Chains A and B, each alone.
Chain A
Amino acid sequence: MSSDAMHAQTIDSETSSFDASSRESKDVRRGLMDALPVMIGFIPFALVLGAQASQKGLSIVEVPLMTGLNFAGGSEFAAIGLWTSPPHLALILAITFLVNSRHLLMGATLAPLLRHLPKRKAFATLFFMCDESWAMGLSHARKRAEAGHMIPFSLPYYLSLSAGLYLTWVVFTALGAWLGPMIGDIESLGFDMAFPAVFLVLLRGMWKGFRQARPWLVSLVVAALTYLLVPGGWYVAAGALSGIVAAYLWVEEKTVEEKPVQEKQMEEKQVKEK
């Protein structure tokens, strides 16, 4: 991100001269700023989802209830796609689980960063964990760790980011339900490309070289093939899991071939644990 340098500078000055509360309000502002482009990306999806849901007979109260309690766009699109009157409960719950099964992995990667939080706060944090808030929270924590922070994860940053995303999602899905049929073919205008755009920038932020990205390629190929060949929402789980398995196997290869790398990782681990 072009703002990386500026951001690192902000963190440096924080550690020296500012007190905790101004550091927190800085994190809050930073979270809202980072949320802004993602919020813009959310709007067309939220409007479309709301409109589709109202076509399926959900009311203007039920739509924000669903998007507010569930707050997981992928599963909401899947559920609305399968929605009948009355809804097929078991089918919708199974699809919801399948599409959101990636959260299991995401929560696991967040767990070491949330160790300092009491359980109650960690549970609240996890309620707002969507792809974007999770990836951005992780990359913010990584930058803070590099800048020498003892506690990399910033709750003020994460919560203000999440608040922006959450409110955008709930308000605009409700608006979509209200406008309903007035929303035309919004996708033909290209707004749906905001979704991969956000994800690609998030991936760029995680990029550590081709070698480390090999599991991503495995995920991409397996997910794409599964998407083409298997009906339903299996492709996310299949792609993510095969990438993890590949990463697992490649770690083994690395530990056999390159001892120095392993030693370096050990050092990194020790730094992280401090």
Chain B
Amino acid sequence: MTETDLIETNLIDTTVLLTIVLMACVTYFTRIAGYLVIRRVSLSQRAITVLEAAPGCVLVSVIAPYFVSEHPADLAALVITLLAATRFSLLPTVIIGIASAGVLRHLLA
């Protein structure tokens, strides 16, 4: 199928396509901009120390909503998952997280 075929069969809408492409451009910009800025400057020791703390800050912020869930079952499952994460590798922790959330939601629903 050519692109015009796709558009004629309503599989791709031009406005949707434009939105998707521009979204991708914005996202790609966020991915390369930090790299482009940092690769040109040589970093101070202080900047390096701060950048070393950055990864954890980003990850914690992304999952912060889980820590203030309204549902007791979700909070309890999060605590279990947190404990699992301190002891086990990725796969067991994921399985424990899913299982505890599934079971606790069923029990506390």
B-contacting residues of A (Cβ < 8 Å)?
Answer: 1-3, 34, 36-38, 40-41, 58-62, 65-66, 69-72, 74-75, 79, 86-87, 89, 92-93, 96-97, 100-112, 114-115, 122-123, 126-127, 129, 131, 134-135, 138, 188-204, 206, 212-213, 215-216, 218-220, 222-224, 227-228, 235-240, 243-244, 247-248, 251-252, 255, 262, 265-266, 269
Q: Tell me if A108 and B38 are in contact (CB < 8 A).
A: yes
A107 to B29, CA, bound (A): 10
Q: Tell me if B49 and A251 are in contact (CB < 8 A).
A: yes
Q: Tell me if B24 and A193 are in contact (CB < 8 A).
A: no
Q: Tell me if B33 and A104 are in contact (CB < 8 A).
A: yes
Q: Tell me if B53 and A215 are in contact (CB < 8 A).
A: yes
What chain B residues lie within 8 Å of A102 (beta carbons)?
30, 58, 61-62
Across the interface, A251 reaches (CB within 8 A) one of B32, B50, B100, namely B50
Q: Tell me if A244 and B85 are in contact (CB < 8 A).
A: no
Q: Tell me if A105 and B66 are in contact (CB < 8 A).
A: no
Q: Tell me if B16 and A62 are in contact (CB < 8 A).
A: yes
What chain A residues lie within 8 Å of B49 (beta carbons)?
247, 251, 265
What chain A residues lie within 8 Å of B32 (beta carbons)?
107, 123, 126
Across the interface, A247 reaches (CB within 8 A) one of B34, B50, B66, B99, namely B50
Given A59-B11, A216-B56, also A108-B51 (CB < 8 A): yes
> Is chain A's interface secondary structure helix, strand, loop, or mixed overall?
helix
Classify chain B's interface size.
Answer: 35 or more
Across the interface, B59 reaches (CB within 8 A) one of A66, A104, A131, A228, namely A131
Given A215-B57, A224-B67, also A65-B12 (CB < 8 A): yes
Across the interface, B62 reaches (CB within 8 A) one of A71, A189, A236, namely A236
What chain B residues lie within 8 Å of A135 (beta carbons)?
55, 59
What chain A residues lie within 8 Å of B93 (beta carbons)?
197-198, 200-201
> Is chain B's interface secondary structure helix, strand, loop, or mixed overall?
helix
A74 to B59, CA, bound (A): 12
Name which residue of chain B comes closest to A67, CB basis: B20
Across the interface, B27 reaches (CB within 8 A) one of A72, A188, A189, A244, namely A72
Q: Tell me if B67 and A100 are in contact (CB < 8 A).
A: no
Q: A189-B102, A201-B85 are in contact. List 10 more A-B contacts (CB 8 A).
A: A62-B17, A66-B24, A100-B26, A107-B32, A108-B51, A109-B51, A126-B32, A197-B81, A197-B96, A223-B64
Interface string of B1-41 (1 = CB under 8 A from A): 00000100011110111111111101110111111111100
Q: Tell me if B37 and A203 are in contact (CB < 8 A).
A: no
Q: Tell me if B61 and A79 are in contact (CB < 8 A).
A: no
17 contacts between A and B (CB under 8 A): A3-B89, A62-B16, A93-B22, A104-B30, A111-B34, A111-B38, A122-B39, A127-B31, A193-B81, A197-B84, A199-B59, A200-B93, A223-B64, A223-B65, A235-B61, A236-B62, A247-B54
Q: Tell me if A190 and B98 are in contact (CB < 8 A).
A: yes
In the complex, how many angstroms separate the beta carbon of B98 from the nearest chain A beta carbon?
Answer: 5
Across the interface, A244 reaches (CB within 8 A) one of B6, B13, B50, namely B50
What chain B residues lie within 8 Å of A100 (beta carbons)?
26-27, 30-31
Name which residue of chain B comes closest to A65, CB basis: B20
Across the interface, B23 reaches (CB within 8 A) one of A70, A199, A200, namely A70
What chain A residues lie within 8 Å of B18 (beta carbons)?
89
In the complex, how many angstroms separate the beta carbon of B80 from the nearest chain A beta carbon?
Answer: 9
